[in-house]
Amino acid sequence: MGAGALKRRSVLAAGALLTGCHRFAPHFEGGWLGASVARGHRLRAPLPKAGDGPLRRADVLIVGGGVAGLACARELARRGIDFALLDLEDEAGGNARGALVAGRPCPLGAHYLPLPGRDSGEVYRLLEELGLARRELGRVIWDERQLCHSPQERLFYRGQWLEGLLPPAEDKATRIQYRQFALLVETAQRTLGFAIPTRRAKWTPSHAVLDAQTFASWLDHQGLTAPALRWYLDYCCRDDYGAPAAEVSAWAGLHYFASRHGFHPPGMETAEREAVLTWPEGNAWLTRRMAEPLRERLHLGRTVLQVNPGRQSVEVLAWNEGADTPERWSARQAVLATPLFIARKLITEKMAALEAAAQARHAPWLVANVLLHEPPLERPGLSMAWDNVRYGAESLGYVDAGHQALRPDRPPVLLTYYEALATSRRPELLGGDWRSWSLHVLAELGELHPDAPHKVSRVELMRWGHGMSIPTPGLRSSAALASLNEPQGRLMFAHSDLAGYSVFEEAYTAGINAARSIKFV
């Protein structure tokens, strides 16, 4: 999204920050990015009159243009099926959109994609089509420019930067627990089976037992209580699921490791690289390329207000944000590629499965792009990596948005800060003042780089009120959720919510699955 298209207030921020024992008032510009809070909340207002404008038609109407909606659109286009896609934002991509801050690209949400495993064939094919991968003599060759450059990750631990995010095991008990957890993950991989997308793994009573308890209580039960291990596992859960180990299921906690490369503490490393694809603008690099060939069929700035499935067709009422007028659509089938709690508000018919599945909790997220007029001073240890995390912190640290630039960035420096918040803090985030949230971010960055708050010139914040579905105990086993993967009359669902948690691969295959289930008789 071009910076000009973003809705923001540009004001001078002056608030106090406590640095050491001094109060200090940094001066910087910034504001909130994105328009979705106001548009999304249109659903709470009484429905407008449909108006007597023309009735627009498409064979398939896709509501929502995040990764899932775009994947569905691509697959329909490939099959030659007529469709239209409506999204409330002015750019497609959903949680995987990007922005420009002071002319520099940066992510607003999702920012990386691990190399797809053997169960993610559709995602691999997309990456091949986008020129990121090719096969030579049976081997996959990845575009080196888009693989995360080294150093990939560093952890600020007891006053210095260490390579990787797993804290060092400083005593024998911790070392033993690292090995114990690695063996438990390896056994789970071998005996139970985990896959991404999750729809490719079988679901057994043993999975259901894991899904019925929290990851934290499962770890307690295994005697895995070493603080370094528990901090790291908690960090992983907050990073992928937006919530700590005490809130997500043990199935989710194990899935994080067992569905990818496992858990490898020092001494148990494997040759397999946990490589990721990443770009300065994050996963917007992918969504923009997915959207581009479809642009004539993407109707952006259209907030869908009602979806009414009838005997012959599905009638949809939308609000055209640009023209400020209602818009009527009619389709033979509709794919709801919005979060399930939104789909539930839109559909006029009560659906028991949707009522149940829409109860899933979503984590609010804060993403801040912080512009510093010069690089922060370094502390001892490893130099700036792509991902930079502080041991013990509640935030998830920051990503250097310039890390993948082919020419190393000259100042200014753009850092993208991530924090998953407790669901109880959603009102504070949505109603909050951008300056106080910026000071919160700067206080956290100041723990890593005490000089950073003195060098800040701009803070652009993005708030995701319902950023991602939290895989709480029982969610993944829910029959209601599973049933929404199948067509429901003229309606289909396609969103990462269907997996009970949110990553690119889940969203993408949900979209492809919905498109493939469309059959006109």
Ligand X SMILES: Cc1cc2nc3c(=O)[nH]c(=O)nc-3n(C[C@H](O)[C@H](O)[C@H](O)COP(=O)(O)OP(=O)(O)OC[C@H]3O[C@@H](n4cnc5c(N)ncnc54)[C@H](O)[C@@H]3O)c2cc1C
419 binds ligand X (CB under 6 A): no
Segment contacting ligand X (CB under 6 A): 50-58, 138-146, 261-269, 464-472?
A: 464-472
Residues 288-317 binding ligand X (CB under 6 A) are 303-304
- Asked whether the CA dihedral 499, 505, 508, 512 is positive or negative, the reply is negative
111 binds ligand X (CB under 6 A): yes
**67 or 371, CB closer to ligand X?**
67
Among 504, 513, 514, 518, binds ligand X (CB under 6 A): 504
Measured distance CA(138)–CA(291) in Å, rounded: 30
Among 298, 360, 367, 396, binds ligand X (CB under 6 A): 367
Look-up: residue for tokens 């499935």? 309
Closest separation in Å from C-beta 100 to ligand X: 18
493 binds ligand X (CB under 6 A): no
Estimate the crossing angle of helix 172-191 against helix 227-241, to 10 degrees.
40
109 binds ligand X (CB under 6 A): yes
* Partners of 414 in the β-ladder: 371
Measured distance CA(451)–CA(442) in Å, rounded: 10
Question: Would you say 202 and 193 are in contact if contact means Cβ atoms under 8 Å apart?
Answer: yes
Question: Would you say 174 and 226 are in contact if contact means Cβ atoms under 8 Å apart?
Answer: yes
Measured distance CA(495)–CA(424) in Å, rounded: 24
DSSP-based three-state secondary structure for 365: strand
Closest separation in Å from C-beta 171 to ligand X: 33
**Could you tell me the two tokens for 325?**
């007028």
Closest separation in Å from C-beta 442 to ligand X: 19
CA 454 vs CA 216, 398, 437, 446: distances in Å: 39, 17, 17, 9
Closest separation in Å from C-beta 371 to ligand X: 19
Among 342, 347, 385, 442, binds ligand X (CB under 6 A): 342
64 binds ligand X (CB under 6 A): yes
* Partners of 492 in the β-ladder: 335
Pairing of strands 314-320, 325-336: antiparallel
507 binds ligand X (CB under 6 A): yes
Look-up: residue for tokens 């809070």? 37
**347 or 371, CB closer to ligand X?**
347
- Asked whether the CA dihedral 99, 101, 103, 109 is positive or negative, the reply is negative
**93 or 375, CB closer to ligand X?**
93
**177 or 278, CB closer to ligand X?**
278
DSSP-based three-state secondary structure for 512: helix
Amino acid code (one letter) for 19:
T
236 binds ligand X (CB under 6 A): no
88 binds ligand X (CB under 6 A): yes
397 binds ligand X (CB under 6 A): no
**67 or 335, CB closer to ligand X?**
67
Number of chain positions touching ligand X (CB under 6 A): 38
Segment contacting ligand X (CB under 6 A): 169-177, 245-253, 321-329, 334-342?
A: 334-342
502 binds ligand X (CB under 6 A): yes
500 binds ligand X (CB under 6 A): no
**175 or 260, CB closer to ligand X?**
260
464 binds ligand X (CB under 6 A): yes
The 114-143 contact track toward ligand X, x by CB under 6 A, reads ------------------------------
Among 17, 33, 68, 470, binds ligand X (CB under 6 A): 68
Phi then psi for residue 447, to 5 deg, are: -65, -30
96 binds ligand X (CB under 6 A): yes
Dihedral, 380, 384, 386, 388 alpha carbons, nearest 10? 40
Measured distance CA(216)–CA(521) in Å, rounded: 50
Listed in sequence order, the residues at least 6 apart from 352 whose beta carbon sits closer than 8 Å to its beta carbon are 480
Pick the closest to residue 39 from 105, 101, 97, 86 (CA basis): 86
**382 or 503, CB closer to ligand X?**
503
Closest separation in Å from C-beta 513 to ligand X: 12
Measured distance CA(424)–CA(500) in Å, rounded: 20
The residues binding ligand X (CB under 6 A) are 36, 63-69, 86-89, 94-96, 109-113, 283, 303-304, 337-339, 342, 365, 367, 464, 467-468, 495-496, 502-504, 507
